[in-house]
Amino acid sequence: MPDKRVWWKEAVIYQIYPRSFADSNGDGIGDLNGITEHLPYLAELGIDVIWLSPVYQSPNDDNGYDISDYRAIMSEFGTMEDFDRMLEKAHSLGIRIVMDLVVNHTSDEHAWFVESRKSRDNPYRDYYIWKDPRDGKEPNNWQSCFSGSAWQLDEATGMYYLHCFSRKQPDLNWENPKVRDEVFDMMTWWCEKGIDGFRMDVISMISKDPAYPDGQVTDGIYGDMTPFVCNGPHVHEYLQEMNRRVLSRYDLLTVGEAAGVTIEEAKKYANKEGTELGMVFQFEHTDLLAAGNNVVGKWTLSRPSMPAVRAVLNKWQIQLEGEAWNSLYWDNHDQPRAVSRFGNDSPQWRETSAKMLATCLHMMKGTPYIYQGEELGMTNTHFRSLADCRDIEEINAYRQYVEEHHMVEPEVMLRCFDRVARDNARTPMQWDDSLHAGFTTGTPWIPVNPNYTQINAKAALADPDSVFYYYQKLIALRHANPVIVYGRFHELLGDSTTIYAYERVLDGKILTVACNWTDQPQQCSLIDERLADGGEELISNYKAHREGILQPYEARVVSGDL
């Protein structure tokens, strides 16, 4: 076997966005005790690891991705004792816990920044990135990821600080060795507590181009900072240092959120010698827009085509082979719901297409990630007005493009939100058909998707054909079949515009996967041929098949001997 065997390559990860998962005390906000109560549900699903979105103390400008104390639990989520109990219970069920590590930036309410902004010669000044004005204005034209300039003037000293995200998320200065010492100490502290890994927030952005040049203006207002903040000059050096000083001393799963990552860069971040990270999240398939069809920035009304998605995913499968390990995902807390974006969320096809997408992804090579509710086939929601939005990215984009620059009609912007807004992923987990979907007994911090009466965990657990049990089976198959974890990937039917097919090969075993991405029957003899060769069906989202045909959103997997 060319790949070194390790547990995190064989694991299936489940992401929890704590604010929206389960509220145990009726304040409308999900919390740690809510997670602990539902751990048996996750054990039933069969996942191995939880990735916990941030639970640290935070003023919640960006729902916990703005941290004011890395060693304290957000009071809305509970206490450190609650955390310890959750960790212990998870471990007793055989579930590991991976923490979100947000160290490209802190909150402006973090003690380091409170000091840093006090004066030019404060000992913490160089913990952040401060620049003098250029011609009395911002040091360059960069747009932050959450609209507006990436620079904020601080009156106290007349200088600007950099914030790639909101102005309440100042970027740390990783060039300062003291910053690295602080971050590595903090990581060690969590490792000593017994956590099992880190998902590293925008870790590809920690090293900036020291020239801070203007970026290309694409929306007529600000410049694009991406080429100057992603995969910067020292990023690999910093991660190797982190690996030497922290990661290599523990048995951890590490995954870097790597905005702007290319294949070449991924081979460094996730190199097989293990000198940096275990794997990265790439964004090419989630950033796909039908050419010329986007409204502004990431805001779009279009859907990516299957061949476009396939071209991206196959490229990552093939080009990382033997060089670096892939992560596999459709969904996370920053993305719309997979079944709405890539599948078909109509009542007729929702479950079938959700299972098809799951098959298509979970039979690939890499570590799969499931985002809370994906295992129920939860869908996007509907935004009636700005009042339905909670996410700073949506709210700021609306202000900038609709209200300030009149570039987009309000109705168009809201329809874009229906398609791609992050809040689609953040509506409360749908546990049952009682008021507020059983998420809370109070008023939820964000409206529940009205379809909770049909789509919920209670109904899924009572239906042997549910999306939930289909995911359960996919996970069990991965655990039982090394070819699903380690088999080499080969593309099949590369010319098809309707069917996504591939095979996996390991030690004399061959697995064949075929997925119909359309709502029409499509001709396909591949599966019949493999069955005629003595193959056996491993899983399918249909019980009755038709010869030579894949039915709407049908997925089939056949295992055989070479």
The interface partner of residue 48, options being Ca ion, ligand GLC, none and the CB cut-off 5 to 8 Å by kind, is none
Residue closer to ligand GLC by CB (options 65, 489) is 65
Distance between CA atoms of residues 433 and 431, nearest Å: 7
Interface ranges with ligand GLC (CB under 6 A): 62, 65, 102, 165, 201-202, 257, 333-334
The interface partner of residue 27, options being ligand GLC, Ca ion, none and the CB cut-off 5 to 8 Å by kind, is Ca ion
The interface partner of residue 334, options being ligand GLC, Ca ion, none and the CB cut-off 5 to 8 Å by kind, is ligand GLC
Residue 328 DSSP one-character state: E
Residue closer to ligand GLC by CB (options 107, 344) is 107
Q: What is the DSSP annotation of 492-544?
A: E-TT-SSEEEEEEEETTEEEEEEEE-SSS-EE--HHHHHHHTT-EEEEES-SS
CB 30 within 8 A of CB 22: yes
Q: What is the DSSP annotation of 466-481?
A: SHHHHHHHHHHHHHH-
The interface partner of residue 62, options being ligand GLC, Ca ion, none and the CB cut-off 5 to 8 Å by kind, is ligand GLC
Smallest gap from Cβ 434 to ligand GLC, in A, equals 29
Please, what is the Cα angle at 432 between 426 and 438, to 5 degrees?
65
Smallest gap from Cβ 158 to ligand GLC, in A, equals 27
Instruction: Count CA atoms closer than 13 A to 365's CA, side-chain side.
Output: 28
In this structure, the dihedral spanned by the alpha carbons of residues 302, 307, 311 and 313, taken in order and rounded to 10 degrees, is 70
Residues noted as catalytic: 201, 257
The interface partner of residue 100, options being Ca ion, ligand GLC, none and the CB cut-off 5 to 8 Å by kind, is none
In the bound state, the residue with its beta carbon closest to Ca ion is 31
Q: Which tokens is 341 given?
A: 């974006």
Q: Which tokens is 364 given?
A: 């690939």
Residue closer to ligand GLC by CB (options 355, 422) is 422
Residue closer to Ca ion by CB (options 19, 125) is 19
Interface ranges with Ca ion (CB under 5 A): 23, 25, 27, 29, 31
Distance between CA atoms of residues 330 and 357, nearest Å: 8
Smallest gap from Cβ 23 to Ca ion, in A, equals 4
In the bound state, the residue with its beta carbon closest to ligand GLC is 65
Smallest gap from Cβ 440 to Ca ion, in A, equals 7
Q: Which tokens is 558 given?
A: 């056949």
Smallest gap from Cβ 228 to ligand GLC, in A, equals 17
CB 190 within 8 A of CB 83: no
Smallest gap from Cβ 333 to ligand GLC, in A, equals 6
Residue closer to Ca ion by CB (options 74, 475) is 74
The interface partner of residue 29, options being Ca ion, ligand GLC, none and the CB cut-off 5 to 8 Å by kind, is Ca ion
Residue 49 phi, psi dihedral angles, 5° rounding: -140, 145
Residue closer to ligand GLC by CB (options 333, 530) is 333
Instruction: Count CA atoms closer than 13 A to 223's CA, side-chain side.
Output: 15
